[in-house]
Each structure stands twice: as structure tokens, then as C-alpha cells.
């Protein structure tokens, strides 16, 4: 499902909606958000990399987290 999504396309969409939903001071004076093309190249690469990592994490099977401070059932030493 997520393998079909292009990371750059996801980053562009995220940028678009992030700018569109930004509160007043973050928008330009003419009420238009900054374009993807005007975003500095290093920031664009960082957003694409973040989108790629997010897609990989979403596509990965859910791994149950182990509880670090709790014994698993049957392992507790009750001392009774």
C-alpha cells in the first residue's frame, strides 16, 4: 500500500497543507503560502527523507513494544 506512494510527492503535499494551515504570521503578506519550488533545496531534501522514513515506518509490520520495567507473565518472583 505505502510502497506505491512517492516520498517526494508526499513531501510536496505535506508542505502544501502545512503552509495552507499555518497561522497568520507564517503566511506571506499576500495570503499565499510559499511554493515548493521556492523552498531551499536542503529543506526539500530533508522533507523528502522524512517522508521516505515515515512511509517505511507505516509500511513495516507493527512490532509490539516490550515493557522494560515489567516482568512477563510467569517470570515474577513473588517471594511468598
Question: Does residue 72 sit within a domain?
Answer: no
As a 3-state breakdown, the chain gives helix, strand, coil percent values, each rounded to 5, of: 50, 0, 50
Residues 7, 3: Cα–Cα separation, whole Å: 9
Indicate whether 74 belongs to any domain: no
* Of 4, 25, 26, nearest in space to 15 by CA: 26
Q: What pLDDT was estimated at residue 34?
A: 76
User: Is 77 inside any structural domain?
Assistant: no
State residue 4's pLDDT score: 81
* Mean pLDDT confidence for 15-41: 76
Q: Please report whether residue 52 resides in a domain.
A: yes
pLDDT tens, residue by residue, 30-59: 545 578 999 999 999 999 999 999 898 888
State the total domains in the chain: 1
Is 51 a domain residue? yes
- Give the closest residue to 18 by CA, choosing from 51, 42, 49: 51
Amino acid at each position: 500500500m505505502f510502497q506505491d506512494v512517492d516520498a517526494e510527492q508526499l513531501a510536496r503535499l505535506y508542505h502544501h497543507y502545512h503552509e495552507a494551515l499555518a497561522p497568520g504570521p507564517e503566511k506571506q503578506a499576500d495570503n499565499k503560502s510559499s511554493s515548493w519550488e521556492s523552498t531551499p533545496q536542503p529543506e526539500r531534501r530533508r522533507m523528502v527523507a522524512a517522508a521516505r522514513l515515515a512511509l517505511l515506518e507505516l509500511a513495516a509490520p507493527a512490532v509490539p513494544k516490550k515493557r522494560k520495567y515489567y516482568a512477563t507473565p510467569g517470570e515474577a518472583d513473588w517471594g511468598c
